[in-house]
Amino acid sequence: MVKKDLKKFQDQTKLSTQNYLTAEAVAGELLSLYEADFAAWVDTQASLLEQGRYEELDKGNLIEEIRDLSKRERSALNNNLRIVLLHLLKWQFQSDHRSRSWKSSIVEHRQRIEQSLEESPSLKTYLENVFKDVYFRAVKKAEIETGLNRNTFPVDCPYTLAEILDVDFMPVETND
């Protein structure tokens, strides 16, 4: 859809009292809008929902986007946990290279995890279920970033989930 057509469609679908567009026309245009301007598509879907114009919703894409929301939340939680674990491992096993940026990263990503869990408490169970896998990926990353041998790091995570999320917890130095 060219910009002129997109602007025309956006003007026509201000979705106030203008109800002259048929459901079929709106649905056809929304597919194009979804592909051309995602933010405008989201605003349009929200307006249609608010007005109870359910038959005009882009149901297929709307369902897909709702399902993707949960995936994105889980992915962000995985990434934040992996980063905290990575920096805790580096803090413990490469203590001569400790930096404020490592500590800052630990704090930042702990806060992100905490916020995610506050907003979606059901993610706590998910976090517990993926904990071992995320630790394994953090160890792989720590091995690359530190240059330390894989065997330097424990097979099982040396920290509990409670410790990982504790704002005051920092592991003690390990000298091998």
Mean pLDDT of 18-30: 50
Q: How far apart are CA 160 and CA 139, in angstroms?
A: 15
Q: Using one digit for the tens of pLDDT, what is the confidence trace for 117-129?
A: 999 999 999 999 9
What is the average pLDDT score of the chain?
86
- pLDDT bin (cut points 50, 70, 90) of residue 30 is low
Q: Using one digit for the tens of pLDDT, what is the confidence trace for 44-73?
A: 999 999 999 999 999 999 999 999 998 999
Q: Does the reported pTM lie above 0.85? A: no
